[in-house]
Structure 1
Amino acid sequence: MKDYEVYSSLKVPRNSRIIVRLDGRSFHKLAIDLNLNKPYDDDFYKVFAKVCNDLFNEFSASFVYAFSDEISLLLDNIPFEGRVEKIDSVIASFAASSFVLNYDTDFKKPPAFDSRIIPVGDEDILKYFKWRQDESWRNCVNSHAVSHLKSTHANNEVDDILNGMKLNEVHELLFQNGINLNDVETYKKRGIGIYRKQKKVVGFNKKENKNQTSYRSYVYTDWELPKFSEDFFKQIGVIG
């Protein structure tokens, strides 16, 4: 019967780098069940950041990026001997379990994530995360537009109003109605990042009878991400 496991031998090269992207399954329905504030719920994203931290630590990620109900993990060390089925299933199930553990509520239906693997070279990392950050911005603009229009129009009218509008036109529509997205919190526009930073530690060396400075790494949750650039990824040690 082992021969029936026709996909179990599919692997990614062990010396490669991959991004694992998770997407929440039917999170629009979950948002209704949890009675989340729209267009953004601060408590939800505090929990989401904890899930990202759990993923970062459990799978030794180099960088984790999240917005909306999406999480991308950059992995240098490929787990599970590169087995695609296991990487996808374990990381997705771990994220769902972490979400339940960190969210202090009773769920009407178990939350779930789907998962996909994207092989990347160093030259692809900036392009990938810039692509996702651009999507975060589009999500921010559209979410605020839908939320605003639903406060003044019937639900079936909102899609008709936004249909065919370019992003800059939606942005201008919001501005004309007193909503300046420049004033919105950075994480709502650019997402959340998890990576390691160095902190300076000064201790006293008894043997040498003097203060001694060292540096220790710690996991940092960045709610004020800049627009992604090559300099940013070099600074956090993701690319050389």
Structure 2
Amino acid sequence: MKEFEVYSSLKVPRNSKIIVRLDGRSFHKLAKDLKLQKPYDDNFYKVMANVCEDLFKEFSPILVYTFSDEISLLMDKIPFDGRIEKINSVTASFAASSFVINYGVDFKKPPSFDSRIIPISDEDVLKYFRWRQDESWKNCIASHGISFLKSKYSNNEANDKINGLNSSEIHELLYRNGINLNDVETYKKRGIAVYRKNKKVEGLNKKENKNQVSYRSYVYVDWDVPIFNEEFFENLIW
């Protein structure tokens, strides 16, 4: 019966980098069930950061990046011999399990993530993460915009007023009403990243009986992500 598993042999290209992107399934309904604070719920983002850290420790990607209910993993060490079905199913189920454990509440309906694989060249890595970070900024503007309008109008009126407005117009609307998005926490504008950093360690070399400096890497959760640029990716520990 093994021959019926027609998709199980599909693999990503050898010696390539991939991005695995996870998206929360029906998280708008989940947000209502959990009564998340608008426009941003601090506890939700702490949970998502913990999920990203768990993913990082489990799958050893170069970078994990998240905003809203979306997570992107940049990988050069491809797990499961590159098998697409395996990568998609395990990363998505692992993320959902981590989300449940880190949230620590009884869910009305089990949360889940979908997963897709994006083969990517070195030249396009920065383009991809700039694209997703731009979406994070647009999401920030839209979330604050609809939240502000719903504080003044009914849900239907607020939705009608924001329809057709572009990001610049929403930004201007907020600014005129005393909300400066430049003052919003960085993670709400640019997302959260998890990657490795080096730290300096000083100790005694007993063999040579002298002080010695070394560097060790550790997993770093960055809540103050810069605007992605070439320098950021050049400095990652690949």
TM-score band (shorter)?
Answer: over 0.9
Deviations 1:172-199 (A, max 9, x none): 0011111110110000000000000000
Q: Give the C-alpha shift of residue 154 in structure 1.
A: 1.1
Name the residue aligned to 2:145: 145
Q: Give the C-alpha shift of residue 81 in structure 1.
A: 1.1
Q: Report the 3-state secondary structure (helix = DSSP H, G, I; strand = E; otherwise coil) of the residue aligned with 2:90.
A: helix
Give the structure-2-normalised TM-score: 0.98
Q: Report the 3-state secondary structure (helix = DSSP H, G, I; strand = E; otherwise coil) of the residue aligned with 1:164.
A: coil
Amino acid corresponding to residue 18 of structure 1 in structure 2: I
Deviations 1:123-171 (A, max 9, x none): 0100000000000000000000011111111111122211221211110
Amino acid corresponding to residue 67 of structure 1 in structure 2: F
Q: Percent identity?
A: 72
The aligned runs of 1:71-86 (5 Å cut-off) are 71-86=71-86
Deviations 1:70-90 (A, max 9, x none): 000001011111111111011
Instruction: Kindly indicate whether residue 125 of structure 2 is the aligned counterpart of residue 125 of structure 1.
Output: yes
Cα separation, 2, equivalents of 1:84 and 1:179 = 45
CA contact under 8 A between 2:51 and 2:102: conserved in structure 1?
A: yes
Cα separation, 2, equivalents of 1:165 and 1:206 = 67
Deviation beyond 3 Å, 4+ runs, structure 1: none
Gaps of 5+ in 1: none
Q: Given the superposition, is the C-alpha separation of residues 4 and 207 from structure 1 closer, same or farther in structure 2, using an over 3 Å criterion?
A: closer
Q: Give the C-alpha shift of residue 208 in structure 1.
A: 2.0
Name the residue aligned to 1:106: 106
Amino acid corresponding to residue 36 of structure 2 in structure 1: L
Instruction: Kindly indicate whether residue 123 of structure 2 is the aligned counterpart of residue 159 of structure 1.
Output: no
Cα separation, 2, equivalents of 1:236 and 1:13 = 23
Q: Give the C-alpha shift of residue 9 in structure 1.
A: 1.6
Aligned length: 238
Q: Report the 3-state secondary structure (helix = DSSP H, G, I; strand = E; otherwise coil) of the residue aligned with 1:95.
A: helix
Give the structure-1-normalised TM-score: 0.97
Q: Report the 3-state secondary structure (helix = DSSP H, G, I; strand = E; otherwise coil) of the residue aligned with 2:55.
A: helix
Q: Report the 3-state secondary structure (helix = DSSP H, G, I; strand = E; otherwise coil) of the residue aligned with 2:213.
A: strand
Cα separation, 1, equivalents of 2:107 and 2:159 = 30
Q: Report the 3-state secondary structure (helix = DSSP H, G, I; strand = E; otherwise coil) of the residue aligned with 2:20.
A: strand
Instruction: Kindly indicate whether residue 209 of structure 2 is the aligned counterpart of residue 213 of structure 1.
Output: no
Instruction: Kindly indicate whether residue 87 of structure 2 is the aligned counterpart of residue 87 of structure 1.
Output: yes
Name the residue aligned to 1:225: 225
Name the residue aligned to 1:30: 30
The aligned runs of 1:45-56 (5 Å cut-off) are 45-56=45-56
CA contact under 8 A between 1:14 and 1:81: conserved in structure 2?
A: no
